Amino acid sequence: MIEKEIYINDLKTNYKVAGEGQPVLILHGWGGSSDSWVKVIEILTQNNFKVFCPDLPGFGKSNPPKFSWGVIDYVNWIKSFIDSLNLTDFYLISHSFGGQIAVKFAILYPEKIKKIIFCASAAIRPKPGLKTKIIYMVAKIGNAFFSPKYLARLKDGARNFFYIFLRNRDYVKANGTMKEIIKKVLAEDLLLELSKIKKEVLLIWGENDKLVPLKNAYIFKEKIENSKLVILPKIGHSPHLETPEKLAEIILKFFNQSS
């Protein structure tokens, strides 16, 4: 496995490449990096695949964006990345936030992709339940409460506490531009885009995923016509870390099946 540096759209980019054979592109999730996928990459490369896994801008060893990106900005960056490597006709694996990017990429550039895997994809925002509505009402009241200048300096701390309460520690850990990016990303709902995906799709979800619940997988399955769902018993949000061997086995079976 080789680690390389390349400049994409004026951003220093770190990526891993390994193996020989059919190309595979992996898009990691929020807070992850190419390091998160090393075990899966090793197994895929032992089975005649050449794997490319970049650290997305703002993660791992890649530089952060210079302004507040949305999902489409990451899509444009991925397009530049694959063009710079002359990468085409590849298998696409995505996890969590990487799945948001993959949804838009698959719609805009279907000719680049053979098959797609969405693993615990965070691309949709189901309608909030009563509990969530109450939480957001409290947040709205909080914004008004901290609006006076003498309380404004306390606002960031209160917002961090709010996100911890929501179990969204990604926001709390984010710094600088990445804090604005995660807010923008969380506001994007790609539900209406899913039916536009026409490639063959495999959905892989952990039964005990608390961050992106299993109910989201069934929504993906309903909206994407040519899709199948595999549920991993007793697994949470990160199958690539919790059970990489089983995940790789499922991936290989899907890739090696005739369309």
**Once rounded to an integer, what is the mean pLDDT over residues 177-181?**
90
Q: Give me the number of domains the chain comprises.
A: 2
Whether 49 and 150 map to the same domain: the answer is no
Give residue 143's pLDDT: 52
The boundaries of the domain holding residue 194 are: 2-125+189-256
Given 168, 183, 198, the domain boundary residue is: 183
Task: List the CATH number of the domain containing 84.
Answer: 3.40.50.1820
Q: Answer yes or no: do 23 and 66 share one domain.
A: yes
Interval 118-140 mean pLDDT: 65
Instruction: Tell whether 137 and 115 lie within a shared domain.
Output: no
- Is the pLDDT at 146 greater than 90, yes or no? no
pLDDT at 219: 97
Do 35 and 101 lie in one domain? The reply is: yes
Q: How distant, in Å, are the alpha carbons of 65, 105, 158, 234, 242 from that of 193?
A: 25, 11, 34, 30, 30
Which whole number is the average pLDDT over 12-23? 97
94 and 157: one domain?
no
Do the beta carbons of residue 54 and residue 24 sit within 8 Å? Answer: no
- DSSP three-state, residue 54: strand
**Whether residue 157 sits in one domain with residue 115:** no
Q: Mind giving me the DSSP string for 140-161?
A: HHHHHHT-SHHHHTTHHHHHHH
Contact of 120 with 209, CB cutoff 8 Å: yes
Q: State whether 56 and 171 are in the same domain.
A: no
Instruction: Copy the structure tokens of residue 142.
Output: 């909080």
Q: What is the pLDDT of residue 140?
A: 53
Q: Are residues 203 and 149 in the same domain?
A: no
End-of-domain residue from the set 139, 161, 183: 183
21-60 pLDDT per residue, tens: 999 999 999 999 999 999 999 999 999 999 999 999 999 9
Q: What is the mean pLDDT of residues 86-109?
A: 97
Residues 244 and 198 in one domain: yes
> Buried b / exposed e across 182-195, counting CB within 10 Å, b at 16+?
beebbebebbebbe
Are both 234 and 167 inside the same structural domain? Answer: no
* pLDDT given for residue 176 in this prediction: 77
Give yes or no: residues 11 and 68 share one domain.
Answer: yes
Helix/strand/coil percent split, the chain, to 5: 45, 20, 35
Q: How far is the C-alpha of 46 from the C-alpha of 18, rounded, in Å?
A: 10
The DSSP H or E segment spanning 116 is strand 113-119
Name the β-bridge partners of 51: 18, 24
The mean pLDDT of the chain is 87
pLDDT of residue 125: 85
Q: Which of 183, 200, 221 is the last residue of a domain?
A: 183
pLDDT tier, 165 (very low <50, low <70, confident <90, very high otherwise): very low
User: Which pLDDT score, from 0 to 100, does residue 126 have?
Assistant: 73
Confidence check: pLDDT of 2 > 80 = yes
Structure tokens at 251: 């991936």
Residues 91 and 146 in one domain: no
Model confidence over 210-255: pLDDT tens digits?
999 999 999 999 999 999 999 999 999 999 999 999 999 999 999 9
Residue 159 has pLDDT above 70, yes or no: no
User: For residue 51, what pLDDT is reported?
Assistant: 98
How many residues are there in the chain? 259
pLDDT value at residue 208:
97
Q: Give the C-alpha separation, 235 to 191, whole Å.
A: 24
